[in-house]
Amino acid sequence: MEYSVLVRMNEKLFLRDPESSDLGRRIVRQGVLLLAEIGFEDMTFRKLADRIGTKEASIYRYFENKHRLLVYMVAWYWQWLEYQLIFQTNNLTDPKEKLERVLHILLLKGASLPTGQAPTDAIDIIALHSIVIREASKAYLTHHITEDNRQQLFKPYKDLCGRIAGIILEYRPDYPYARSRASSIIETAHYQSFFMQYLPSLTDFGNQPNGLPESEDRLVSFLHHLLFSSLESGMA
């Protein structure tokens, strides 16, 4: 199935809208692949320019620096993920079932990913998901976060957390920590995924005795326990 999702981005994230030209689209899509391959610290606009066959100065016409490009990618992902959440829970009436679906979506289990031949200019969601797990905190752990926040660069993440918090309140209207629980469950899902792959001694989800990575099913079970044990605590 071929499909694409149109995501409207905050104009403060770029100098020129990358979706307005073929070069801009290649900057973002190849930037995702390069960043997933070598990481934020080693990525440079020169390396990205070499990858897509353009001049480094051309990339600076679209993005002020590589941090701005990272924030753009992460913001795009949060908006895509919120779309998935809306799409996947639209026909559900049981808030518990909605929350269970959310946990799977956070790990890209059950999300509507392209199958077969994806559109040639589609953003690689799997690669972008890996970037969010490893690099997303670098988008806001900066000295200029106050100014970035004033420009609403993190609104997609806030919107996603707000939507999950809304489902939490559907399940338990008197729960006093809905937004905190929403943001913490997202962060836990990603940090535990990172630890499971790179620092398994910090989790209960390391490699199996045969050396193969453990299934994410146990991580989903942990997230389920973490979420519902807190929501059901003190319920009549």
Q: Is the pLDDT of residue 118 over 50?
A: no
Condensed to tens digits (0 to 9), the pLDDT of residues 178-205 reads: 999 999 999 999 999 999 989 988 998 8
Sign of CA dihedral 80, 82, 86, 89: positive
- Which residue blocks in 10-139 are alpha helix, DSSP H? 22-38, 45-52, 56-60, 66-89, 95-106, 125-135
Distance CA 2, CA 24 (A): 22
State the pLDDT at residue 2. 46
Q: Which of 105, 151, 166 is nearest to 132 (CA)?
A: 105
Residue 120 has pLDDT above 60, yes or no: no
Q: Binning pLDDT at 50, 70 and 90, where does residue 212 land?
A: low
Please give the angle made by the CA atoms of 138, 59 and 20, to the nearest 5 degrees.
Answer: 100
CB atoms within 10 A of CB 81: 24
Domain boundaries, the chain: 11-231
Instruction: Please tell me the predicted confidence (pLDDT) of residue 217.
Output: 86
Say what the pLDDT of residue 75 is. 97
Average pLDDT over residues 112-125: 60
* 147, pLDDT greater than 80: yes
Alpha-carbon distance values, 21 to 61, 94, 181, 188 (Å): 12, 43, 40, 37
Instruction: Judge whether 62 and 16 are in contact, CB under 8 Å.
Output: yes
11-231: CATH architecture: Orthogonal Bundle (1.10)
What is the percent of the chain with per-residue pLDDT over 90, rounded to a whole number? 79
Q: How confident is the model at residue 216 (pLDDT cuts 50, 70, 90)?
A: confident
Best CA proximity match to 178, nearest among 80, 95, 104: 95
Q: What CA–CA distance (Å, rounded) separates 2 from 39?
A: 29
User: CA 217, CA 47: separation in Å to the nearest integer?
Assistant: 37
Give pLDDT, residue 55. Answer: 97
Separation between Cα atoms, residue 32 and residue 127, nearest integer Å: 7
Tens of pLDDT along 155-179? 999 999 999 999 999 999 999 999 9
Q: How many residues appear in the chain?
A: 236
